[in-house]
Structure 1
Amino acid sequence: MRVIPAEIQFKDWLYSIGTGQVGDSVMIPLAMRVNSRQELYTFVFNTGFDAPVNELLKRLILSPTNRIVDLINDEIIDIIDSPEHVYLSRDNPTSENPFAYNLADYDVAQLNRLTPIGMPAHNIKLKVGAIIVLLQNLNTQKGLCNGTRMIVRRLHQDLIEAETVSGSSDRGIRIGICRVRNNYKDLRPDQVSFERFQFPVRVAFCMTITKAQGQTCERLGIDISDEPFAHGQTYTAFSRCRSGENIRVFAPGKKPDNNGNISMRNVVARGIRFD
Structure 2
Amino acid sequence: MEKEYISSDTKCQVDENEDVQQEWFTPEFLNDIKCSGLPNHKLTLKLGVAVMLLRNIDQTSGLCNGTMLIVNEIDNNVIGATIVIACFAMTINKSQCQSLSHVGLYLLKLVFTHGQLYAALSRVKNRSGFKVLILDEDGNPKSLTTNVVFKEVFNNI
Query: TM-score of the superposition, structure 2-length normalised?
Result: 0.49
Q: Which structure exhibits the higher relative contact order, with contacts defined as CA atoms closer than 8 Å and separated by 6 or more residues?
A: 1
Tell me the TM-score normalized by structure 1: 0.30
Rg comparison, structure with higher value? 2
